[in-house]
Amino acid sequence: MSNLKNFYINGQWVAPAAANNYDVINPSDEEVAATISLGGQADTDAAVAAARDAFDSWSQTSKEERLALLNKLLEVYKSRAEEMAQAMSLEMGAPISMSRVNQTGAGSWHLEGFIKAFEKFEFEKPYTATETTLLEPIGVCALITPWNWPMNQIVLKAVPAIATGCTVVLKPSEIAPLSGILFAEFMDEAGFPAGVFNMVNGDGVGVGSQLSVHPEVDMVSFTGSSRAGILISKAAADTLKRVSLELGGKGANILFADAGEKAMKYSADRCFRNTGQSCNAPTRLLVERSVYDQAVEVVAQQARDTHVGPASDEGQHIGPVVSEAQFDKIQGLIQVGIDEGAKLVAGGTGRPDGLNRGYYVKPTVFADVNNDMEIARTEIFGPVLSVIPFDTEEEAIAIANDTPYGLTNYIQTPDDDKRRRVARRLRSGMVETNGQGFAQGSPFGGYKQSGNGREGGVYGLEEFLEVKSVSGWNKA
């Protein structure tokens, strides 16, 4: 991609204040896919100033005006969906079929969900006969988004913030920025007023840190690693701005003996989806001992049957991981698992056969893992599954909860009472059972070091609102 636009600030595409180029690498072939500019302090300041100047007028627009623009955005998004799919496939390695259906589809799905929730949302709620509660936009919001599900996360932040009357500055991941640039084009084409949406490319130590400490930013919404979330929280503390975090995970998938072989196959496929680069991936498979050997055999075969190939190829395969740094981290952790004494039953270090260039990882399964091993405690963020046996329901719950994370856990059993009983005991923001996905607008977020925010639907709108009590609103 050439002739890339730079930063979108105050309704215009502008050049960076100083030249600081960054090469975007195609993970399928390790070639330069595009070159972007990284912002500096002057660019951050300009974007925040534009958002601040636009806030007073935008926050006072009617719900109907904002809703009309959101519907126009959805129209633009759908009309340019193929461009978005191609951009994400190129920048982060999602196979093009998956990029069209899942990666691009996630953006339009969440946008539709927010429109439905916003249509019914009330910003004024009577409390007593004479008192009312107002829900008002928090102000200028910095949105810092990751590379693994680019549109999923940009839409989950930008749309509810703007819908509720906030103005925003988006910093997409510098590793996968092309989709963020396209989204800025969509916002411009939809006709949002100048300054309501601003976009500056940059890295975490640059623009990300500048936004976190900026005195004119009222809120930071961040998705990424727990380590980065901690740093952002500390940086934001001096100005006491609100920080909403959606962080890592190490999900446990509890497979009871009555779940069956289909659930075993699903457990492997769900772990390897998006090449394992999902914070909610079920990377710890806890199996009841009576079916443990069978489950190990089934998931190992699923790993061996999982095809790995370039993102540009059509088909139901998995692509590369996003970067050389990510590839090296995963390779190192696979070796750690071997060194720890876990039983390697599929995959291992190195690239799959026939793939000598590109950040391709073998779908890997370790058996006989215990929960004290590093591969059971560290978020690997690749197609690596750890299988752990358990004997009792209580033991399964204890192992599942023995983690610093708490994003998504999974349960596989046809026993409804057992599913509900175990789900109540799991310390996570979400529990998926028997492969049943979550509904549109369902709250996404975690416990513990998986973060403190909720995204999607009504909960996502409420993230960006202040609560104001007003007495004497009506005459007694």
* Residue whose entry in the numeric block shows the structure tokens 């070639």: 31
Residue 472: left (phi > 0), alpha (psi -120 to 50), or beta? left
Q: Which of 112, 279, 379, 432 is catalytic?
A: 279
Burial 61-73 (b: 16+ CB within 10 A, else e): eeeeebeebbebb
DSSP 451: B
Q: Is 216 a catalytic residue?
A: no
Task: Tell me the H-state helices in 177-241.
Answer: 178-190, 209-213, 226-237
Nearest CA among 155, 68, 79, 69 for reference residue 110: 155
10's tokens = 């105050």
Among candidate residues 215, 201, 219, 220, the one with its CA nearest the CA of residue 43: 201
The one catalytic residue among 112, 174, 246, 455: 246
Q: Which amino acid is at 177?
A: P
Is residue 463 part of the annotated active site? The answer reads no
Q: 138 is written with which tokens?
A: 């928090």
- Structure tokens of 200? 């500056």
Length of the chain measured in residues: 476
Q: Which residue has the tokens 């299988």?
A: 387
Active site (catalytic) residues: 246, 279
